[in-house]
């Protein structure tokens, strides 16, 4: 077992990994605290019907490590962590399950602060909050997705400025993959800035809305990779950038909200060689965690937007360094994060 954990690619010097179980509620969960050099670890609590415990461990370690990098580059006074509850979010939820998770967080004494994630809801967070104050994003001021969308828009502007030398998105074509909470709002901003939209989603209603509201052109799910676009905006799934999609991609810029867009780390270098400007996912999509962090620490809501807009400044620096050092933007973003949290 120890060989499996410590040799796990994503273990990467996690400070603490806690396995929690409670008989009465049936809780089986894992809390991963990757790094707290910059402050308490913050990251969501995911509930998922994992195929095996090994898959759950790998997922929580990968996500927790990712939060350290995201939070550090976003300039937040927090570290990286994540938790998972093993179970079907559609059938296995009870208040007692989340209360037991809350008790487990309380025992960590604030080293990890949780929040909503895939498979969990504000109502679940309220049950956790019955047992601990170490829970953020209770929905007091609403869904953080509009701030993630703002960060994406600012990121697209920074990329266009750097790569095309333009201050405006007017007349550019953006291929948006996924019109959910973030994608739709991002599309609205792109449309308002004069961009042409080509969109896809599995949700027909969202496509109809985008067609009516933004005059968007709709394409089939798989056809999004072939669109003659200036920007490809992945806002649905991870790992959409891989050798197969790269050979089809026409866009010169990738700027979208999805987590873990690169199927493998090597794809960052493939994008660089293809002269595609990749906007690193964990930098561009930090708007939501910035909002949640401000809310948790009772910092003025009026300052959130300015902080999210800083994403554009950070990206401009990453693009400059990537050019100067001949490195993929993904590598430069990692280095920037490490310089901040590895003190």
Residues of this chain that bind ligand NAD (CB under 6 A): 144-145, 148, 177-183, 200-203, 206, 221, 235-237, 257-259, 285, 288
DSSP string covering 168-207, please?
--TT-EEEEE--SHHHHHHHHHHHHTT-EEEEE-S-HHHH
CB of 187 to ligand NAD, least distance (A): 11
Among residues 256, 201, 212, the alpha carbon closest in space to that of 231 is found at 256
- How many residues make up the chain in this entry? 343
Element (H, E) at 31: strand 27-35
Q: Report H helices in the chain.
A: 2-6, 53-73, 95-107, 122-129, 145-164, 181-192, 204-214, 243-246, 266-273, 281-284, 287-296, 304-325, 329-341
Residue positions annotated with a catalytic role: 82
Q: Which is nearer to ligand NAD, 157 or 261 (CB)?
A: 261
75 labelled ligand-binding: no
61 labelled ligand-binding: no
Q: CA–CA separation, 341 vs 106, rounded Å?
A: 25
CA dihedral defined by 305, 37, 182, 331, rounded to 10 degrees?
A: 110
179 labelled ligand-binding: yes
CA dihedral defined by 342, 290, 66, 169, rounded to 10 degrees?
A: -110
Q: Which is nearer to ligand NAD, 71 or 200 (CB)?
A: 200
CB of 205 to ligand NAD, least distance (A): 9
180 labelled ligand-binding: yes
Query: Could you tell me if 116 and 89 are in contact, meaning their C-beta atoms sit under 8 angstroms apart?
Result: no
CA dihedral defined by 208, 246, 240, 155, rounded to 10 degrees?
A: -70
Minimal CB distance residue for ligand NAD: 180
Q: Which is nearer to ligand NAD, 185 or 230 (CB)?
A: 185
Among residues 261, 265, 263, 268, the alpha carbon closest in space to that of 282 is found at 261
Q: Which is nearer to ligand NAD, 149 or 172 (CB)?
A: 149
276 labelled ligand-binding: no
CB of 237 to ligand NAD, least distance (A): 6
CB of 18 to ligand NAD, least distance (A): 24
Query: Could you tell me if 81 and 42 are in contact, meaning their C-beta atoms sit under 8 angstroms apart?
Result: yes
CB of 62 to ligand NAD, least distance (A): 13
178 labelled ligand-binding: yes
Q: Which is nearer to ligand NAD, 41 or 182 (CB)?
A: 182
Q: Which is nearer to ligand NAD, 268 or 288 (CB)?
A: 288
CB of 110 to ligand NAD, least distance (A): 23
195 φψ region: left (φ > 0), alpha (ψ -120 to 50), beta (else):
beta
Question: What is the torsional sign of CA 219, 223, 224, 228?
Answer: negative
**Phi/psi at 82 (nearest 5 deg)?**
-165, 160
Known binding-site residue numbers: 178-183
Known binding-site residue numbers for NAD(+): 178-183
């Amino acid at each position: 077992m120890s060989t499996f954990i410590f040799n796990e690619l994503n273990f990467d010097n996690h400070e603490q990994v806690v396995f929690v179980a409670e008989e009465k509620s049936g809780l089986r969960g894992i809390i991963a605290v990757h790094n707290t050099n910059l402050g308490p670890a913050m990251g969501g609590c995911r509930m998922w019907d994992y195929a095996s415990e090994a898959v759950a461990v790998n997922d929580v370690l990968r996500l927790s490590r990712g939060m350290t990098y995201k939070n550090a580059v976003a300039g937040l006074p927090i570290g990286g962590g994540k938790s998972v509850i093993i179970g079907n979010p559609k059938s296995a939820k009870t208040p007692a399950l989340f209360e037991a998770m809350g008790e487990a967080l309380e025992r960590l004494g604030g080293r990890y602060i949780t929040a909503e994630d895939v498979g969990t809801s504000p109502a679940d967070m309220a049950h956790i909050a019955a047992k601990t104050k170490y829970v953020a994003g209770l929905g007091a001021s609403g869904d953080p997705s509009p701030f993630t969308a703002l960060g994406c828009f600012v990121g697209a502007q920074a990329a266009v400025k750097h790569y095309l030398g333009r201050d405006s998105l007017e007349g550019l074509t953006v291929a948006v993959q996924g019109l959910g909470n973030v994608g739709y709002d991002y599309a609205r901003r792109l449309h308002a800035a004069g961009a042409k939209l080509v969109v896809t989603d599995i949700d027909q209603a969202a496509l109809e809305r985008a067609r009516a509201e933004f005059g968007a052109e709709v394409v089939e799910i798989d056809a999004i990779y072939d669109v003659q676009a200036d920007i490809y905006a992945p806002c649905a799934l991870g790992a959409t950038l891989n050798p197969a999609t790269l050979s089809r991609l026409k866009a010169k810029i990738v700027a979208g909200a999805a987590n873990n867009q690169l199927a493998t780390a090597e794809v960052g270098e493939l994008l660089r060689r293809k002269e595609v400007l990749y906007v690193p996912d964990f930098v561009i999509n930090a708007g939501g965690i910035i909002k949640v962090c401000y809310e948790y620490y009772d910092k003025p809501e009026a300052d959130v937007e300015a902080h999210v807009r800083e994403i554009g400044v950070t990206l401009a620096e990453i693009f400059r360094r990537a050019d100067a050092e001949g490195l993929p933007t993904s590598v430069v973003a990692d280095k920037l994060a490490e310089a901040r949290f590895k003190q």
